[in-house]
Amino acid sequence: MDPYPSSSQIAQKTWELENDIVSVDTPATSSSADAASDAIFYYDDVAQAKFQQEKPWANDPHYFRRVKISALALLKMVVHARSGGTIEVMGLMQGKTDGDAIIVMDAFALPVEGTETRVNAQADAYEYMVDYSQTNKQAGRLENVVGWYHSHPGYGCWLSGIDVSTQMLNQQFQEPFLAVVIDPTRTVSAGKVEIGAFRTYPEGYKPPDDPVSEYQTIPLNKIEDFGVHCKQYYSLDITYFKSSLDSHLLDLLWNKYWVNTLSSSPLLGNGDYVAGQISDLAEKLEQAENQLAHSRFGSLIAPPQRKKEVRALFCCFWIFKRYLLNMRACHECFYFFITCKVSMFDLKSKSCVISDCPLCYPLWSNLFLV
């Protein structure tokens, strides 16, 4: 047996560490396996039925706060999302509840029609959903459907207006229900799964002010849709787990994921995405410059409070321009350009030898002008 791990095993371990996947296995104290190590996989039909009857979420719109996703289900969703490319895909998640946590044990894809901005489930998708669930129960998998997932290729993890309507409808008739969004494009660029889990508030409910969430870039053409509906749902904390029971399946699925990763180049495959991010950022900078110009002119005759607002806006604008040096869209580009020799660039004229490249020129022209 080879004492050294293979490249695939190293990559799998790196992926697990990068995404903070925790093993639920505990060291056995006897010759027999510790039953508590895989207790999370046990489905208590009586307890789940009792929980459904009590419906604690009906009195607290913010009842569910955590999501636990198995590494196997996570990898299934990522592979499915990546297979769609720039087209949105959709699937369902199976699992159970445990207090204020929704546990996702498995996931499966749905045969749906998707576009670059939305995904539509037809009658055949609903038939497939019912058949799959019934077959699973016949095979001994008793977990019910606890949510749906879909992809947002290249524009972050949040719920659009259509997503909010879909989730609100599901929560009315299929509680408890969860919405998960995965961005496969940013996942490939960053190496860490870009994912978000959400639940909507009841219609007419006014949520309290949420704490500031982790910053994410929203394309300019999506900002309006994001801003209009962002107060209609809330995000849940996500953790991941794995166990010895699903290690073999995880290894098999990882081999498929690993081959697909090796056969694709993030820089070339995400070329359109990176160029789009740079173009989108340029538009945002132009808008910020226009707002700053108007504010500076107005501050000449405005009271001191107005001048403070202008100074604050100027500071934000300054930080925003320097964010170019660390923005997510440039992640892969910097790894590529750092291997180029300094002699390729004429820094005095701020030009690039490869300025004809549609991917390089916008990036470096913006960086040199900062």
Tell me which of 233, 264, 295 is where a domain ends: 264
Is residue 190, in this structure, part of any structural domain at all? yes
Class of residue 37 by CB neighbours under 10 A (exposed 0-12, middle 13-18, buried 19+) = middle
| Residues 179-199 pLDDT 10s | 999 988 888 766 688 899 999
Mean pLDDT of 136-150: 88
pLDDT of residue 367: 42
| Residues 291-318 pLDDT 10s | 655 555 445 544 555 455 555 555 555 4
pLDDT of residue 168: 92
Is residue 289, in this structure, part of any structural domain at all? yes
Are 64 and 238 spatial neighbours (Cβ–Cβ below 8 Å)?
no
Residues 233 and 299 placed together within one structural domain of the fold = no
Please state, in angstroms and rounded to a whole number, the distance separating the CA atoms of residues 47 and 197.
24
Is residue 248, in this structure, part of any structural domain at all? yes
Percentage of the chain modeled with pLDDT above 70: 55
Residues 260 and 294 placed together within one structural domain of the fold = no
Q: How confident is the model at residue 232 (pLDDT cuts 50, 70, 90)?
A: confident
Please state, in angstroms and rounded to a whole number, the distance separating the CA atoms of residues 2 and 40.
33
Are 74 and 240 spatial neighbours (Cβ–Cβ below 8 Å)?
yes
Is pLDDT larger for residue 5 or for residue 231? 231
Please state, in angstroms and rounded to a whole number, the distance separating the CA atoms of residues 261 and 335.
17
| Residues 6-53 pLDDT 10s | 777 777 888 888 888 888 764 444 344 445 556 788 888 899 999 999
Looking at the 3D structure of the chain, how many domains does it have? Answer: 2
**R_g over Cα of the chain:** 24
Are 234 and 65 spatial neighbours (Cβ–Cβ below 8 Å)?
no
Residues 174 and 233 placed together within one structural domain of the fold = yes
Residues 140 and 239 placed together within one structural domain of the fold = yes
**Structural domain span for residue 65:** 7-25+40-264
What is the pTM assigned to this prediction? 0.68
Residues 278 and 353 placed together within one structural domain of the fold = yes
Mean pLDDT of 142-156: 89
Tell me which of 264, 293, 321 is where a domain ends: 264
Question: What interhelical angle do 71-83 and 247-262 show, nearest 10?
Answer: 30
Residues 230 and 277 placed together within one structural domain of the fold = no
Say if strands 195-200 and 233-235 run parallel, antiparallel, or are unpaired: antiparallel
Residues 156 and 286 placed together within one structural domain of the fold = no
Tell me which of 237, 264, 291 is where a domain ends: 264
pLDDT of residue 220: 54
Please state, in angstroms and rounded to a whole number, the distance separating the CA atoms of residues 370 and 351.
14
Is residue 35, in this structure, part of any structural domain at all? no
Whole-Å CA distances, 126 to 122, 123, 131, 263, 366: 7, 5, 9, 34, 48
Q: Among 79-83, 162-166, 198-202, 263-267, whose mean pLDDT is lowest?
A: 263-267
Is residue 30, in this structure, part of any structural domain at all? no
Chain centroid, CA 268 distance in Å = 21
Residues 226 and 177 placed together within one structural domain of the fold = yes
- Residue 226's CB is within 10 A of a number of other CB atoms, namely 17
Non-local CB neighbours of 39 within 8 Å, separated by 6+ positions: none
Is residue 80, in this structure, part of any structural domain at all? yes
Q: Among 2-6, 76-80, 249-253, 354-358, whose mean pLDDT is lowest?
A: 354-358
Mean pLDDT of 201-214: 71
List the one residue out of 175, 198, 203 whose CA is nearest residue 58.
175
Please state, in angstroms and rounded to a whole number, the distance separating the CA atoms of residues 183 and 153.
5
Residues 191 and 208 placed together within one structural domain of the fold = yes
Is the pLDDT reported for residue 359 higher than 70? no
Is the pLDDT reported for residue 352 higher than 70? no
* Mean pLDDT for the chain overall: 71
| Residues 211-227 pLDDT 10s | 555 545 655 555 555 55
Residues 244 and 306 placed together within one structural domain of the fold = no
Is residue 2, in this structure, part of any structural domain at all? no
pLDDT of residue 274: 59
CATH number for the domain that contains residue 188: 3.40.140.10
Is residue 88, in this structure, part of any structural domain at all? yes
Q: Among 69-73, 117-121, 136-140, 337-341, whose mean pLDDT is lowest?
A: 337-341
Q: Residue 147 corresponds to which tokens in the numbers above?
A: 């949510």
The secondary structure of 75-100, three-state, reads: HHHHHHHHHCCCCCCEEEEEEEEECC
Residues 273 and 256 placed together within one structural domain of the fold = no
346 SS3 class: strand
pLDDT of residue 228: 62
pLDDT of residue 57: 92
Residues 336 and 225 placed together within one structural domain of the fold = no
